[in-house]
Amino acid sequence: MSKQINVALIGNPNTGKTSVFNALTGLNQKVGNYPGITVEKKEGICKLPRGVKAHIIDLPGTYSLNASSLDENVVIELLLNKNDKDFPDIAVVVSDVENLKRNLLLFTQIKDLEIPTILVINMSDRMRYKGISLDIAYLEAKLNTKIALISTRKNKGISELKELISNYKDISSTPCMNASEIDPGYFDNLRKAFPNQLLYKLWLVITQDVNFGKTDRNEMEAISSFKTKTKSDLKRLQQKETIKRYQFINEVLKGGQTIDLKNAKDLRIQFDRILTHKVWGYVIFGIILLTIFQAIYDWSSVPMDFIDSAFASLSEWVKQIMPQGAFTNLLAEGIIPGLGGIVIFIPQIAFLFLFISVLEESGYMSRVVFLMDRIMRRFGLSGKSVVPLISGTACAIPAIMATRNIESWKERLITILVTPFTTCSARLPVYLIIISLVIPEGRFIGLSYQALTLMLLYLIGFGAAIVSAYILNKILKIKSKTFFVVEMPNYKLPMFKNVALTVLEKTKSFVFGAGKIILAISIVLWFLASYGPGEEFNNAESIVKTQYASQHLSEDEIHQKIASHKLEHSFIGITGRAIEPTIRPLGYDWKIGIAIVSSFAAREVFVGTLATIYSVGNNDEDTIKNRMASEINPILGGPLFNFASGISLLLFYAFAMQCMSTLAIVKRETNSWKWPTLQLIIMSAFAYIVALIAFQFLK
């Protein structure tokens, strides 16, 4: 049996750590959460020389071991707890060749924990353009480590890195400097009080607010209570430590790094002048957004039509090939249409994640964050709130988790409360199907009306978020004193492998996450729509035949009337009729009402629910889009999904809190049911009022 070693991948943000992780693990990776907390945990398996396997953990990006956020705490907690199953046999610190000085601060701290540590210097392909040359042998000797000079873009140095990891026992665990020189007396007393512990580990436990495994807890609490210095004295010592480390790093780089600025070629300043310009920056961002939404429509139309037809044909084939009965009906009328209602949107969701990934990989997204900070501050939000609001376009759950970087509790709370207004990918299926039904095809200056409508919905969601933030800022009397700091990474061509893995991982998690819910709901809905109480349901055939005896209807028409009568008097029909008076003023019938209620589990369930309801008892296996288009409004006549009801639905989903998982995360992040309850009531009431006004005005 081959040995497996633990490898911790550590580094500052924007050093290419994810690229190194992807290069080492490829498709052998998974994303989850750390036990007990909602911080993302990425891990993967890498095959090394001589049959060794490496379990690689991609830790959250951190600038140092002086943690200021929950994400950074994860790094410290793992490195200080030898009893953790993921405690590393070796640490791999990823640095960027252009920011080596800053990156080495974290490296020297990890070396002080006496963990064997490899220094990876990434983006080596940029050395010539930046006029940088390195004396690797000199740096290895001074830093007491082995260095892997790599370029993930050119796929250079990866095999050498794997070789170094497999020979981890040969890597020195001796620190490269003596940090205790900042206060010898204090550290001598600390060493005497806890002779069996690493000195730097003791220092981190005293100065950081971190948690540890049960085995270490009593010991760690004893160390934490060793406070012979005040909080301000400890802060001053931390600052001294940082200065001491940078003095050491400067000395090392003086002999091991040469930068010839005459040969450096850098267009970054010229690009930044345009892309972060107070006028042109917003114009360019607007053009990029319009292009993205247009592409989402144009590129995905062919695969979507194919998927839609394929699922309709599959339902028909199942009914023909399998014996008649409840199980066949469940498959053909429940499960297949329900799953088809989510699979059809894979192309558009994949394209959305593709564009977001390209913007992040290229370094442009940081410029967008910088641009939007100018707007955010006017509405009382921290500049750091921009990151959750932008990442909310993928999903509100990780976006709300991202608020942990906001130091002020009130600013963080406001960001948590308004982030669900941002249009997430779960709303996309609802928007796309409704837009295709009620917005006519046609173009304005080359852009389709449907793409413009989609972009408008995104802008409405973002506008609602910042206006709500402004109101909350006034109500909660927030006085913001935080500073917004965003790092501007270098521009680079996105790596195909990174983009492909991101799109695959995000789309897969969206489809499988939604798929489980939709499968369960489709089965429940099919049962509720296929069975009902009382004579009206059980004797539907005789009732309908008697009622329409004089109209000489064809056999197919009679069958349709029976199916409709049964559906209306089924369990789901009775439930739908009960809530219909509430939603009728919005232009919806009871079937849409059921879809709205069931989509509280997840917004994208809306389409799958309608697909299931429209399929029950129907022998004509048409596409979901055609079924929705042919639905008639029982009160007003004409198509049920018309311009007025369609706009009403779009606005309802733009503002409503139709997501159980988001509410659960808000409760977890605020540690109270008060805020998610208020969020649900206020957002739902606002959505209802706006949808009501829209329908009554447009009808």
Per-residue CA distances from 299 to 292, 295, 454 (Å): 10, 6, 15
CATH topology (fold) of 1-263? Rossmann fold (3.40.50)
Record the tokens describing residue 81, joined without a space. 């707890």
Binned at pLDDT 50, 70 and 90, residue 267 comes out as low
Residue 90: half-sphere exposure toward Cβ, Cα within 13 Å: 26
Looking at the predicted structure, is the pLDDT value of residue 1 above 60?
A: no
Give the separation between CA 237 and CA 605, rounded to whole angstroms. 55
Q: Judge contact between 22 and 158, C-beta under 8 A.
A: no
Find the mean pLDDT for residues 353-379. Answer: 78
Please write the tens of the pLDDT for every residue from 381-391: 766 677 677 76
Binned at pLDDT 50, 70 and 90, residue 278 comes out as confident
> Strand, helix or coil at 600?
coil
Amino acid at 109: Q
Number of other residues whose CB lies within 10 A of the CB of residue 361: 20
pLDDT of residue 576: 82
pLDDT of residue 30: 61
| Sequence-ordered list of residues with C-beta below 8 angstroms from that of 308, at least 6 positions apart, any chain | 340, 344, 623, 624, 625
Give the separation between CA 649 and CA 626, rounded to whole angstroms. 18
% of the chain surpassing 90 pLDDT: 13
Number of other residues whose CB lies within 10 A of the CB of residue 440: 8
- Of 309 and 261, which is predicted with more confidence? 309
pLDDT of residue 215: 44
Give the separation between CA 88 and CA 116, rounded to whole angstroms. 9
Domain boundaries, the chain: 1-263
pLDDT of residue 655: 93
Going by the DSSP 8-state scheme, the letter that residue 11 receives in this structure is E
Give the neighbor-by-neighbor strand order of the sheet with 4-11. Answer: 29-33, 40-47, 53-58, 4-11, 90-96, 117-122, 146-149
Looking at the predicted structure, is the pLDDT value of residue 173 above 50?
A: yes
Give the separation between CA 166 and CA 48, rounded to whole angstroms. 6
Give the separation between CA 349 and CA 360, rounded to whole angstroms. 17
Tokens 């931390």 identify what position? 238
Looking at the DSSP bridge assignments, the partners of residue 319 are none
Record the tokens describing residue 86, joined without a space. 């993921």
Looking at the predicted structure, is the pLDDT value of residue 73 above 70?
A: yes
Give the separation between CA 379 and CA 373, rounded to whole angstroms. 10
Looking at the predicted structure, is the pLDDT value of residue 107 above 80?
A: yes
Per-residue CA distances from 195 to 83, 181, 186, 226 (Å): 19, 18, 14, 14
Record the tokens describing residue 542, joined without a space. 């005789």
pLDDT of residue 692: 95
Going by the DSSP 8-state scheme, the letter that residue 330 receives in this structure is I
Average pLDDT score, the chain: 80
Binned at pLDDT 50, 70 and 90, residue 412 comes out as confident
Looking at the predicted structure, is the pLDDT value of residue 679 above 80?
A: yes
Looking at the predicted structure, is the pLDDT value of residue 214 above 60?
A: no
Record the tokens describing residue 563, joined without a space. 């199916």
% of the chain surpassing 70 pLDDT: 84
> Strand, helix or coil at 487?
coil
Q: Judge contact between 393 and 458, C-beta under 8 A.
A: yes
**DSSP string spanning 383-439?**
GGGHHHHHHTTT-HHHHHHGGGG--SHHHHHHHHHHGGGS--TTTHHHHHHHHHHHS
Looking at the predicted structure, is the pLDDT value of residue 38 above 50?
A: no
pLDDT of residue 598: 76
pLDDT of residue 695: 92
Please tell me the pTM assigned to this model: 0.62
Going by the DSSP 8-state scheme, the letter that residue 15 receives in this structure is S
Looking at the predicted structure, is the pLDDT value of residue 694 above 90?
A: yes
pLDDT of residue 606: 78
Find the mean pLDDT for residues 69-97. Answer: 84
pLDDT of residue 394: 66
- CA 221, 226, 227, 233 dihedral sign is negative
Binned at pLDDT 50, 70 and 90, residue 212 comes out as low
Q: Judge contact between 180 and 187, C-beta under 8 A.
A: yes
pLDDT of residue 265: 55
pLDDT of residue 616: 59
**For the chain, what is the largest distance between any 2 Cα atoms, rounded to a whole number of angstroms?**
105
Q: Judge contact between 137 and 110, C-beta under 8 A.
A: no
Helix (H) / strand (E) element for 149: namely strand 146-149
- Of 660 and 677, which is predicted with more confidence? 677
pLDDT of residue 344: 75
Give the separation between CA 375 and CA 518, rounded to whole angstroms. 38
Binned at pLDDT 50, 70 and 90, residue 398 comes out as low
pLDDT of residue 484: 58
Nearest residue to 23 via CA among 494, 357, 350, 495: 495
Looking at the predicted structure, is the pLDDT value of residue 268 above 50?
A: yes
Give the range among 309-318, 325-334, 676-685 with minimum mean pLDDT: 325-334
Record the tokens describing residue 408, joined without a space. 């002020």
Give the separation between CA 122 and CA 94, rounded to whole angstroms. 7
Find the mean pLDDT for residues 641-645. Answer: 88
